[in-house]
Structure 1
Amino acid sequence: MHQALSQRREKSARLFMSSVSLLGWLLILFSLVKLEPPAEPIVLVLLFIFLLISEYYPMPVWRGQTAITFPVVYVLFLLYGFPYTAIAYGGAVLIVNLIHRRPFRTVFFNPAQLVLSFYGAVLMLPYFKGLLDKLALTPTVQGFLEYFFLLALYVIINNLIVDLVLFIRPQHYSFKMWMQKNMTELNSAAISLIYGIILYVVGSQNRGEIDVFAYFFFFSPLVGISLLSATIARLKREKNRLKLLFSITSELNQMLPSQDWLSALKGRFNELIGAEASLLWIKRDGEWVLSFKDGRTLQNCELPAAAFEEFEEMRRPIIYNDRKKVGGPAAECFEDDVKAFVYSPLVIENETIGMFIIARSRTKSFQDDDVQSIATLANQLAVIIKTRMLFTEKEKRIVLEERNRIARDIHDGVAQTLAGAVMKLETAGKKFTKNPEETRKLVDESVLGLRESLKEVRESIYALRPYPTQKATLAEAILRKIEAVQKEFQQDIEFEIRGQELELSPMVEKVLFDTFQESLQNAIKHSQASAIEVLLSYQSEHILLRIKDDGKGFSLFQAMLKARNQPHFGILQMNDAAEKINASLQIDSKEGSGTEVVITVPRMGIEGENTNDQAHASG
C-alpha cells in the first residue's frame, strides 16, 4: 500500500516537473522567434558571462547557498527586454547544470522554472506599476519600488513551484526543511535588494554615458564576492569533510576492541557524504554477512550467490547513476525511490573482504569528491576488518594452544599416574594372600598417586571453567569480587566507574581482571590496608584501571631483587601480561605510604597473546 502510494506520488511529481519544463522551454523557444539584433552586443555578452559565473559559484548564505543573479537578470530585462533575458538566463542555468552533471530531468527543469518565475513576475508587474504612477514619486524611488515588487513576485512564484515539487514527491519534506529553504531564499533576496538600492542610487547621479566598462565595474563586486565566498565555502566544506572523516576513522580505531565497533558509522557517514542509505557486507570465513545498515534500507535483504560473486570481482569503486538502467547487485536491498549507488569494495592484498554501498535518491548525484571520501573510508574499514580478523584468529589459536596444553598435562600427568596406580593395584591383588605387607605398601602408594591425580584433575577443571569476565562484564566481575572480599574480610573498598562502558575483548578483560585481583589480594594479605580504592575509567584514547590502598607499602627495588629467585612473583606476572596487550603497568609504592597500581590499555590493538598467562602470585 505504502509502496503504491509512493509510486503514484513520484509519478505525479515527474508529471508536474515535465509540465513546467515543457512550458518553460516553449517560452524560451518563443523568445528566440522575437529576437532582434541587440543594441550593445558586448554588454549583452558581458552580462551573460556574469550570469554564468554567479550561477556556477553560488554565494553562501545562512543555512545554505544561493546564486545571486537577480540584479544581473533585472538589468538584462531593462536593456534588452524579456526575450534576451529568457534566453540568457535559461542558457546560463542550463550550462551550469550540464557542467555539474545533474540528472536529465533536473537539467531541463531548473532553467524552465526560473524563466517561468521571472515571466510570471513580469506579467504581474504592470498592476503594481499602475498603483505607483498614482503616487507621483520621484523616478529613482519609483524605479526602486518597481525593482522591489518584481523581485518579491519572482521569489514568491519561484518558491511556490519548487515547494509544489517537494510536497508532491514521496520523499519527506518537513516544516524544518521548508523553513531552511525559505530562509536561504530570503537571504538571497535581501542581497539582491541591497544591490537594487545601489543600482538606483548610482543611476540617479549624472555620471555621463553608461558603457560596457560601467556595467563591468558595477557588477564585478557582485560576481567577485560570489566567486570568493563560494571558494571559501568550498574550502570550509572540504575542511569539515576531512575533519568528520578523520573523526569517524579515529572512532572506528578506538572502538575496534569492542563488539559494537561499527556503531561509529551510524548516521555519521550519511551526514559526511550527504547519503540517504548505506550498507556494509563483510566476508567472514568464506561467507558474506550483512554487518551494518543505515538509512533507507529494507528490513530483510537476502542476496543470491551471484551478487556476492560480483562483489568478489570488484577492486575499485563503481558508480551506478540510475537504478532504472542498472543499480548493481544489491539495489534490491534499498527502498524503491533510492536511485544512485556507489559500490566501494574493501580490498586487502588484492582480496575483496567487504563491500560498502552508499545510496542517494537523486540520480547522477555522486561527484568525484564523494567517491573519494567513500573510497577513503572503505580503505580504512578494510584495514580495521583485516586487523580484527587477525585478532580473532589469534584468539582462536590461543584457545587451541591452551586446550593442547591441558591435554598434554593430562596425558603426561594424570594419565601416567592413573596407569601406574592401576598396575600397582593389579600387583597388590596378586600378592594379597602371599605378602600382605607388600600389598599394603602398593595400595598406599596407589592411593597417594590417586590423590595427586585428583588434585591435577581439579586444577584442570578449574582452568576450563568460564572466567569471571566471560560470565559478566569487566565492571560486574570486579564488583562481584569486591562484594565477596568485603563479606569475607569486612574490608573498606570503594569502586568507581568513569566514562561509557565498552565490551572489550576477552583477553583484555582477563588481564585487567587478573591485575585487579592480584593487586587486591596483595593489599589485603600483605599491605594490611584499611581502605582500598578501585577506579575503572573508559577514556577517549585508553582504558585505565587503578587500585590504590593506604597500607604499609613496600620497596619496589627490594621486590624486584626478590623476584629473581621467585619467578612466580606477582609483579612480574602482571607486567608480562600487560605487555602482551600493549598496555603499560605502573606501580607506585613506598614503605609506610601505601601502594598504587595503574594499568593503562590503549583503545587500539589491545589484544593479548596467551589466555592462560595469569598474574597470580603470593606477593
Structure 2
Amino acid sequence: MITSSEQSDLTNTRHVFRLLVLYRWLSLIPPLLSWLTTQDTARLIAALAAAVIANLFITFFPSQLNASVRQRPALLLIDLVFCSALAAFSGGWNTPYYLYAFSPLLAAAFFFKLRGALVSALGMALLFVVSGVGVTPNQNWLSLVAQVVGFFLIAGAFGYATTLMARLTSSHLELNRAHRDLEVIHSLTLSLQSASDVNEVEERVLEAVTNDLGFSRAVIALVDQNDHVVSCWLGKARDGRAMFAGGLPHPARLRMTAEEGIIAQCLLDGQPRLGTSETLTANPAINTHLEHGTYHVFPMILREHPVGVLIVNASDENDPARLRSLEAIASQAAVAVGTTMLCIDRAQRLAVQDERIRIAREIHDTVSQSLFGMTFSLDACVKLLPTQPDTVKKELASLLQLAESTRAEVRQSIMGIWPSQLNAESFATDLRRYTAEACRASGVDFDIQVRGDFESLPPQAKRGLYRIAQEALANVVRHANATQAQVRLDIADEQATLAVQDNGRGFDLNLALAREFNREHFGLRGILDRATSLHGTSEILTQPGAYTTVKISVPLSTRLPKS
C-alpha cells in the first residue's frame, strides 16, 4: 500500500522528469537553426533525426526509463556516449548540441543528487574533449575550457538544488508525520478522559497505536499494585485481529522480577527496551500470543510507580520521532490508567462509607427505637412485678415478639432488604404499629393519611419517606410531650409532600441540630440527610413552647441514586 508521503514523492518525481523531457526538446532548437543555415545538411539531418528518435523514446516511455535508471545508474553512460557522438558528428567542440549534452547531467543530478551530477559532469567532460579531437575546425582551447567548466557548474548547481530539495522534502515529511502523531496523541488524550474503566483505556491506546500510527501489532498490560504482578493483557493487530483469545484481557500473571524477562526489567527500572518475542517474558504462553518478532517495550510510569506496559512491534524504520510519540502515548496511558484506578478506588471507598451510613441510619430509625421501647417497658415490668405478675407476664410476651421483630429489622438493615409489597395502606398501618410497639406511645392520638397515587413513588422514595416519618414520630413520642400528632403524605403535581405535625412543647432547632451533630447521632440530622439523598427539600418549623412541623418535599421525576 502506497502511503501519502510516497504518493507525494512519486508525483514530484513525475513533474521533474517531465521538465527534463521538455528541456531535451527545447535544446534541439540550436541544431535545428544550424541545419537551416549551413550547407552540410546530410550530416546535420542524420544527427537531428537521431536526437529526435531518442527524445521520442524518452517521451513515450518515461515510467520505464525512470525505474530503470534508478535501478541501474550505469544506463546514464549510454546517454553520455550518445551526446558525445552527436558532438563528434556535428562539429566537435563547436557542436550545436552543447545544450543537449546537459540532458544526462541534469538527469544524473535529479536521480542521484550532487554526487551523481559531479560524476556525470566529469564523464561528459572527458567524452566531450575526446569527441572533438581531430574533428573540430578552428580549435579554440579557451572556448573548450569554458564549455568544460560549464558542464561542472550547471550540473553542480542543479545537483545541489536537488539535494536541498530532497532535504526539504524529507523535513516536510518528518514535520507532517510529527504533526500527525501529535494529533493522534491529542485525540487520544481527550478520548482517555472519557474512558469509564481501565479496559476501555487499553482498547483506546491500542486503537491509536495500530490504526492511527500504523504499527502492525501492539499489546498493553497492567500492573496489579496489590500482588505486584503484570496481568490483564490485551493485544491488537492493525488488521483488527485480536492477539489474545476472544479479544478479552488475558489473565496471565507475570511476576515483577528481573528473571521474568525484558518486560519485568523494563517496569523495574522504568527504561524502554527493545527485544524479541522470545525474550520478553519467561512465560511461554504470553510469548506465543505476542507472536514472533521484535518489540519495543515502553513502561507506563505514574509518580515513579509502574502502572502498566506498552509493547509495540518494531517497524523496519527505527525513527526516533516515532519512538518519542510512543513514549508520549505510554505516558498518557499511565495517567489515564492511574486516574481511572484512583476513581474506582475512591468510588469503592465512598460506597463503603455510604453503606455504613445507611446501616447506621437504619439501626437508628428501627432498632434503636425498638430498644428504647423495650427498655421503657422492662423498667415498668420491674416496678409492677411484685404486685401485678400476670400483667408483667403478658407484657414480657409482647416484648418477646418485639425482640423478634427487632432482630428481623437488624437483618433488613444489614442486607438492605425492603418489602416489595409496601403500598399506601401498609404505609399507614406500619407507622401505627411502629408507634404502638416500637415507640410504646401512650396518650398520643395519631392521625395518618396518604392521599394521591402512592404507586407513582419510586421504591427509594417510599422507603426514604417511611424512614423520615418513623424518625419524626419517634421524636414526638420521646421529646414532644404531645397529645396529638398528624402524618400527611400528599402525592400530586409530580411531587410528594410529607408533613408530620404535633401539638407538643417544641424545641430550639439550632441547638438540637448542633447537639446531635457533635454527638454523632442521626435524629433530625438523619431526616435532613435523607431528604437531600432523595433530591428533595426539608423544612422544620418549631420553637420552644409551641408545636413542631416537619415538612419534606420530594420530586417524582428525578432519578434517585442507588442505595
TM-score by length of 1: 0.43
TM-score by length of 2: 0.46
Structure showing greater radius of gyration is: 2
Which structure has more relative contact order (CA 8 Å, sep 6+)? It is 1
